[in-house]
Amino acid sequence: MTRGLFISFEGIDGAGKSTHIDRVAQLFREAGRAVVLSREPGGTPLSEKLRELVLHEPMDALTEALLMFAARREHLGQVIEPALARGDVVLCDRFTDATFAYQGGGRGFDWQVLVQLERMVQVLPDGALRQPELTIWFDLDPHIAAQRLASARVPDKFESQPADFFAAVRAGYAKRQSEMPGRFARIDAAQSLDAVGADVGRVLSDWMKRTTA
């Protein structure tokens, strides 16, 4: 049986990751792999309910962090772990790095408390932590992201934050990458759609060569 793969996609709102996630799913399907496309917060009926609350209701920073992890716990148990056990490719639009970036970086919430919650929620029976094996970070200047978002849909609680907030979220992603450099691939999301797509393709093929070597 083929081994399950877990890949996450990260970046500030407006960084443009969605189009590329669909393309990556297509690439894996063409290679004959079963793909599970999911997102956080969300991915199960309960986690999607939590998503609605956390994206639209005002709440304090700890409540927000707890709801993100509650949604993640459910998502891991119901969707991600079973898919990996079947040998599927799990492509997740955001995972725990988003909590470190948004709640830790953006909101300034205690980083070490997030580390504890991560350990509680993502621990595996052998004591290791479930993490994506590859995280593609679409890195973009918040001012460019704001211009892209201006013409987009009605903003949610996070999308309506000012550029300063997103600068802090971006710094949160950079901090997280410096803590776990092995699984992060940073892509310059200010490039054209095609150039970003080409970078995503390169990251994936380099990574596949390394993991199957």
Sheet containing 35-39: order of strands? 35-39, 89-93, 5-10, 134-139, 184-188
By CB under 6 A, residue 13 contacts ligand TMP = yes
Mask 147-186, x = binds ligand TMP (CB under 6 A)? Answer: -----------xx---------------------------
Compute the distance between CA of residue 10 and CA of residue 91 in angstroms, rounded to an integer: 11
By CB under 6 A, residue 140 contacts ligand TMP = no
Residue from 5, 7, 28, 39 in contact with ligand TMP (CB under 6 A): 39
- In this chain, which stretch among 30-38, 91-99, 111-119, 197-205 interacts with ligand TMP, using CB under 6 A? 91-99
Q: What is the DSSP letter of 179?
A: H
Q: 110 vs 208, which CB is nearer to ligand TMP?
A: 110
Q: 4 vs 161, which CB is nearer to ligand TMP?
A: 161
By CB under 6 A, residue 41 contacts ligand TMP = yes
Q: Tokens in use for 183?
A: 């699984």
Q: 99 vs 135, which CB is nearer to ligand TMP?
A: 99
Q: 113 vs 208, which CB is nearer to ligand TMP?
A: 113
Residue in 109, 62, 121, 89 with CA at minimum distance from that of residue 207: 89
- In this chain, which stretch among 76-84, 93-101, 116-124, 171-179 interacts with ligand TMP, using CB under 6 A? 93-101
Q: 4 vs 16, which CB is nearer to ligand TMP?
A: 16
Residue with tokens 């877990």: 6
- Dihedral angle at the C-alpha atoms of 169, 80, 179, 102, nearest 10 degrees? 10
- Around Cβ 21, how many Cβ atoms within 10 Å? 21
Residue with tokens 């199960």: 44
Contacts to ligand TMP from residues 97-136, by CB under 6 A: 98-99, 102-103
Which helix H or strand E contains 135, and what residues bound it?
Answer: strand 134-139
By CB under 6 A, residue 199 contacts ligand TMP = no
Compute the distance between CA of residue 87 and CA of residue 73 in angstroms, rounded to an integer: 20
What's the closest the beta carbon of residue 87 comes to ligand TMP, in angstroms? 25
Compute the distance between CA of residue 87 and CA of residue 90 in angstroms, rounded to an integer: 9
Binding site for ligand TMP (CB under 6 A): 13, 39-41, 55, 68, 93-94, 98-99, 102-103, 158-159
